[in-house]
Structure 1
Amino acid sequence: MTRVWSGGKKEASTFQKEVLAKYNVSDKNDKIIYQYLMTSLAFPFFSETTIFVGRYLKMSDTFKSSVILSEMRNSYGSAESVYKGVNAVLNGLKSWEILS
């Protein structure tokens, strides 16, 4: 988890230390929540992508990754890094079993 905050290079803040202490004694589901929250705080791109995912899931039980990619390209442009970033976020959500 410390890599999420600073790549392990900076001293963790008091808040981060508290979260890490709670994370270490949490069950699997709570660990996923901590990972999601800390990743959202550390990476605005991750946070914005998940906001779009949430908006589309409110309207329907499913969404197409191409729709999320289109939304993110509207915000960040059509660089290859946007495509890779969206895929990384969606795959992360799948690996945490937030999405199926």
Structure 2
Amino acid sequence: MVNINLKIQSICSSTNDLAFQAANDGLDQGTSYLSYKQTKGRGRNNNKWNSLEGNLFLSTIIRPIKEKKHWQQLSLIVGYSIIQSLIDFGIKSKIIELKWPNDVLV
């Protein structure tokens, strides 16, 4: 089981940057950064991320046990797990979209 440590900032440069730095600093798996606005949002491979106001942005530190070649599958599993959790909380599945590899749009 993973303990969740949620850190909320109303505005940040990028939740990915915060999580990446925290992971390098040795913070535990499950440490998550949530923000309502990003000034320099980015996705995988430093791709610019359009961070429109009114959205939530979340990055979580995970430390996979599997070999790196399997990590891409893990991204999809996480995305689908988030979708299933939203459905379990009553969000209608027809308004939920998974954008490759693990961005969940509602």
TM-score, normalization: structure 1?
A: 0.30
Q: Which structure carries more helix by proportion?
A: 1
Q: Which structure carries more strand by proportion?
A: 2
Larger radius of gyration: 1
